[in-house]
Structure 1
Amino acid sequence: MQLRTRTALLVGGTSGIGLGLARRLAAAGTTVVVAGRRTTAVDGLESVTLDVTDPDSVRDARDRVLLAHPDLDLVVTMSGVMLPEDLRDPAHLAAAETTVSVNLLGTIRTLTAFVPHLVERGGGDIVTVSSGIAFLPFPLMPTYGASKAGVHAYTEALRAQLAGTGVEVTELVPPAVATAGQEKVNPAALPLEDYLDEIWDLLTQNPTPPEILVRAVHQHRWAEKDGTYAELVARRSQALNTLPGRA
């Protein structure tokens, strides 16, 4: 994938991996627009307010972005939330509904808004973001894993449906990356700049792999094939002891 001199929209690009990638794209000469619910903290990048849980907000942002940038040819969907849930407590449903609305439906809403533009222009790139947890559940965050597994399946179907249109579809599959406090709770979280270095090298390959898998996520992606799935899920289940009354 060519990542220089593009026109890119990063939905969920106002923090974390998204903001880091946005800055790298801008440094490479790409025109970058970042979108999110809060955009005031984004220095030096064009921004647009977009709430992926609100269909009207998605459509309004699309119209504004395409009016200003009719040559938009790269759309990255990064929005996501990670919420712990106690499945013994019915109150967890609120967290589950929020997670699905942001992670899965937010991705679908965004792509539904921008796919027609990319198809009409006869080419471009879409990058979705799932997670290593899509392939190896983290029981403390059950709906997060389910929503990201849904993003993976949706991405596979989107790639098949867009075959022959000139629009390429790539899935970014992050492991734990040291953003948003992850480094405080997970000492194995990959430093952000190291992660960005690795995905940049993979994204710029020609042809670009359909899944962007850094070394640290291979154990998640291939756990079933490697025969380590049950052991790793059991190990990750120890985090359930952090729930009230479980220690």
Structure 2
Amino acid sequence: MTGNTILITGGTSGIGLGLAQRFQDEGNTVIIAGRRRALLESISANNPGIFGLPLDVDDPASINALRDTVLRDYPELNVLITAAGIMHPENLLDPAHLSTAEATISSNLLGPIRTITALAPLLVGKPDATIITVSSGLAFVPLSATPTYNATKAGIHAYSEVLRQQLSPAGIQVLELIPPAVRTALMGSQEAENAMPLDEFLSEVMSILHEDPDAKEILVENVKPLRFAAAQGTYDKIFALLADR
């Protein structure tokens, strides 16, 4: 939990930025990556020990440029957290939704896959090498308003399972962070009464990492009803409840 060099994509807001600040407080070197250069510079200026690098996860060339910069300037990198993503509602009867679906797949599924493909080789042989993917409780019980978002997060869950299996022989631990609804800017959820306050979520996540560092899935209490709905026989009830929101 300390003494690491951690790169967080999507680190300029929400869960990504919150994790960056919490890990910096724990005594780690933290690199945040995102599209907005001015915001990266502002966050770095206000948080000594957090460094910003430009990254567009939709652009393979940008990902490769990030890899080259990390290799040159942060060769001790041993932790990658893929927190970048978008969430937008879709009406599946409206042909215009297709552009939203394609953008969501690019950012939420292809983005992490491309980023991990580029950076995972840099972690081989590093002490405590770790990749943390970020899926969602909606990977397990979907929200009707966001069909493609749900699908990408389900894809990240499946990808994480196999990534863990394949990278284990190389000494890279793979954890999957599975958030519930959290009060962030994602789809305007800052004021959502049913969403978990961001600071509360971050505190519980950090406690889990301290207490159970070998957990394959990082599950706060609020997400467990979604994660285990199928096993507990409550899937249909929760799916209907989500559809009413």
Question: The TM-score by the shorter chain falls in which range?
Answer: over 0.9
Contact in 1 for aligned 2:125/2:171 (Cα 8 Å): no
1:9 aligns with 2:15: no
1:101 corresponds, among 95, 106, 113, to 106
Q: In 2, distance between residues paired with 1:59 and 1:205?
A: 35
Identity percentage of aligned residues: 48
Q: Deviations over 1:141-193 (max 9, x none)?
A: 00000000000000001000012211100000000111113132x20111111
Report deviation, 1:40: 2.2
Cα distance in 2 between the residues matched to 1:58 and 1:79: 12
Question: 1:172 maps to what in 2?
Answer: 177
After TM superposition, give the deviation of residue 91 of structure 1 in Å: 1.2
5+ long unaligned stretches in structure 1: 240-247
Q: Structure 2: state its 5+ residue gaps.
A: none
- The answer to whether the 8 Å contact 2:78/2:127 transfers is no
Check whether the contact 2:56–2:62 (CA below 8 A) recurs between aligned residues: yes
Task: Write the distance in 2 (CA, Å) between the matches of 1:36 and 1:199.
Answer: 22
Which residue of 63, 71, 77 corresponds with 1:66? 71
Q: In structure 1, the residue corresponding to 2:6 is in which secondary structure? A: strand
Which amino acid in the other structure matches residue 226 of structure 1? Answer: Q
Q: Which residue of 2 aligns with 1:183?
A: 190
Poorly superposed stretches of 4+, deviation over 3 Å = 120-123
Return the offset for 1:236: 1.6
Aligned residues: 236
Q: More helix per residue: 1 or 2? A: 2
Q: Which residue of 2 aligns with 1:243?
A: none
Whether 1:126 and 2:131 are equivalent positions in the alignment is yes
User: What secondary structure is seen at the aligned counterpart in 2 of 1:178?
Assistant: coil
**SS of alignment partner, residue 98 of structure 2:** helix
Cα-to-partner distance string for 1:63-92 (whole Å, 9 max, x where unaligned): 112211101000000011001000011111
| Partner deviation per Cα, 1:206-238 (whole Å, 9 max, x = no partner) | 442100000000011011111111111112222
Q: 1:137 to 1:14 in 2, by over 3 A?
A: same
Deviation (angstroms), 1:134: 0.4
1:217 aligned to 223, 235, 241, which one? Answer: 223
Give the SS at the match of 2:211: coil
